Amino acid sequence: MSFFTAIRVAGLAVSVLASPVWAQDLAAPTAGAYQLDLGHTRLLFRVSHLGFSNYTAMFTDLSADLAFDPEAPETMAVKAVVKTGSLETHYPDPALNFNGVLTGAEFLDAAQYPEITFQSTAVKLTGDHTAEVTGDLTLHGVTKPMVLAVSYNGGWDDMPMDAGARIGFSATGAFNRSDYGVGFGVPAPGTTMGVSDRVEVILESEFIRPRPAQ
């Protein structure tokens, strides 16, 4: 498909979705088992590099299952699995293999700890569409509680041009990597000479509940 053909197709889709007929047919999402849509998900992390910048990288291979219930949001639960070796830094010099450095023995040690997991344990509403989600984060063989600030961005129960029901979330959180035994390069107290202990997590995600097979 050429670029201009893609633009025309996208424009047609937008015009169809914007029509009142489609809008009337889109019901709010309902309860059920939802799976992560990796094509519309990004998991980023940031660390301070020498105090000069917030170095940002991402994981590209992850999955999650969500028990979704808009009528009882505090009962919802999610489990996510991240493949440690899928870390992507986009480092410009392939000879260094910086992805391999960060997933190597001095940092994440993907060979010994191939998965990072998050299992929710509690949901506390903080607003009409926001919540604090507490869960057990297992990283580098260590499990500790972590809190995510989550925003529910909406969704639909079914749409003919989609795979079925779809919902979207944004989430942020933070932890100290030394708590998980990943302390290499943490600056000495009172300095920024190194890579920060604090790791910020940024997640943009969509989940789907596929339409039943006919």
pLDDT along the chain (214 residues), means of 10: 41 42 70 98 98 98 98 97 98 96 97 98 98 98 98 95 95 98 97 98 97 78
Per-residue pLDDT, 65: 98
Residue 7 counted as domain residue:
no
List the helix and strand counts (H, then E) for the chain.
3, 11
**16, part of any domain:** no
Strands 62-68 and 115-125: unpaired
- pLDDT reported for residue 212: 81
Indicate the residue type of 44.
Answer: L
Q: In the chain, how many domains are there?
A: 1
pLDDT at 25: 61
Query: Does 23 fall in a domain?
Result: no
pTM: 0.87
Q: Residue 175: which CATH number?
A: 2.40.128.110
Q: Which structural domain, as residue segments, surrounds residue 110?
A: 30-210
Residue 56 lies in a domain: yes
The burial of 109, by beta-carbon neighbours within 10 Å (0-12 exposed, 13-18 middle, 19 or more buried), is given as middle
